[in-house]
Structure formats: structure tokens, C-alpha cells
Amino acid sequence: MEIQNAVLFITGANRGLGLAFAQEALRRGAKKVYAGVRNPTETNTPGIVQVKLDVTDAASIIAAAKQCGDTTLLINNAGIARLNSSSLDASMIDLSREIFETNYYGTILVSQAFAPILAKNGGGAVINVLSDATWFSRPMLAAYSASKSAVWSFTNALRIELRNQNTAVSGLHVSFMDTDMTSGFEMKKTSPQDVAQAALSGIEEGKEEILVDDFTKAVKQSFASEKTIYLNPPEIA
């Protein structure tokens, strides 16, 4: 689909990748960007409409969908990451539940609320923001990685089902980005602006899986080799 004249609904669009998506969409001529945010603030950026949204709160999702009935492109971007010291750590269960509420159940609830809207508006598209961690786990990111694998699995089911209503569903896979989520960690990071550009170009080209950086591409390719990365994940990539 074309971004020009599209109406986007982006979860978690107040900072990080979500904000970069909003800015890049407007640069490409989007008609409007609904920024789903937990704490709406005074903003006078033309084209951006803040909408109160907490992806762990079903009532706020339903209210947002009611308000944004002209949406043609949904971006499930909101996400959280937490470190666990080990997969065997006692905190692993509570941590997993917390992360899954946002990353997995949040994505499902928002997708369910907006799928009928996309259908009514001609089909449109969905981008689910995933990660290189979709395809391998670092022990200290075990709970987060499991949540992204789960969202990928949901994405694969959703894309098959929504083909019936002409909605294209894409998974966006990216390694570390330079956002608040990785602040304080020294590693190679992609800028969220570059990721937003690659993702929206991917949507315009009709890609169902968008792999942004070389490391993420290497992870996926390595599934076919004996030296697959998920059996030997690097500490930091």
C-alpha cells in the first residue's frame, strides 16, 4: 500500500521507534497519524492526533478504535523489555507475565479492535514490530525473546486470515535500535529513523517480512545452516 494519503494508528508513538514512524509517515504524505499514547500531552505537530491508549487496557483500546475509524495502516509498536538474570531466575514467571501483557496480549487486542476498521476501509495493512530476538534467545532476554516469538507466531496466523479482507500483515524484524529501550547499553544500534524508513518502504513494496539490518538477516539465513545462530547466540551483536 501507499503511505501517501494513508491514515496511520501507531501504538506507543510518543517516543522511540513509534515517534520515528509518525514523522516518516508524514514526510511521505500520510493524511493523518493517530499516535496511541498512555499520557497525551499538548502537541501541535500538524497531522498528528494523540489518542489515549494503554495496550494492556482493553477498554482504552476499544475507545481508541471507536475514535479512529478511518485508520488504514495499523502499527503495533508499543513494547517493553526487561532483563532477567537467568532463565532459571525465580522472577522469570512474573517478568514473563508482565512482558506478555504488553507485547503479546496487547498486540492481539489492538489487532482485533482494528481489523474490522481496516476491512471497512478497503483492507490496508498492519505492521507488527518484532525483533531479531524473535528467532533466538539471549538468556538475559529470555522472557522478552519469548514474547517476540509469540507475536511472530500470532502475526503468521493473522496474515493468513486477513488476506481474506485484503489486509497485508507484515512482521518487522530488527536488532538493537538507538532508543530509550537500549540506553546505557553499548552495542551497535540502528537509528529508529532508518528503521521507520525501511519499514514503510517495505509496506509500499508489499513485503510480508521486513528485515532491517545485516545481523537480523544473518540470523534468519542461519536457520538453514549447521551453524545456526539460535544455538550459539552472541552476547551482544
Ligand X SMILES: NC(=O)c1ccc[n+]([C@@H]2O[C@H](COP(=O)([O-])OP(=O)(O)OC[C@H]3O[C@@H](n4cnc5c(N)ncnc54)[C@H](OP(=O)(O)O)[C@@H]3O)[C@@H](O)[C@H]2O)c1
Query: Which CB atom, from 32 or from 173, has the smaller least distance to ligand X?
Result: 173
CA 57, distance to chain mean position in Å, is 18
The reply to whether 211 sits near ligand X by the rule CB under 6 A is no
Contact window for ligand X (CB under 6 A) among 6-14, 23-31, 82-90, 203-211? 6-14
Contact window for ligand X (CB under 6 A) among 9-17, 43-51, 116-124, 153-161? 9-17
List % helix, strand, coil for the chain (3-state, nearest 5).
45, 15, 40
- List Cα–Cα distances, 34 to 21, 41, 58, 171, in angstroms: 11, 13, 18, 20
Please compute, for residue 141, the number of CA atoms within 13 A of its CA located in the half-sphere on the CB side: 23
- Going by C-alpha positions, the residue among 169, 211, 192, 6 that lies closest to residue 76 is 169
The reply to whether 199 sits near ligand X by the rule CB under 6 A is no
Query: Which CB atom, from 131 or from 170, has the smaller least distance to ligand X?
Result: 131
Grid cell at residue 121? 476501509
In three-state secondary structure terms, 36 is: strand
Q: How far apart are CA 71 and CA 120, in angstroms?
A: 10
Minimum CB distance to ligand X, residue 5 (Å):
25
Binding to ligand X in span 79-118, by CB under 6 A? 79-81, 102
Contact window for ligand X (CB under 6 A) among 66-74, 85-93, 178-186, 222-230? 178-186
The reply to whether 38 sits near ligand X by the rule CB under 6 A is yes
Query: Which CB atom, from 58 or from 119, has the smaller least distance to ligand X?
Result: 58
Contact footprint for ligand X (CB under 6 A): 11-12, 14-18, 38-39, 53-56, 77-81, 102, 129, 131, 174, 176-177, 179-182
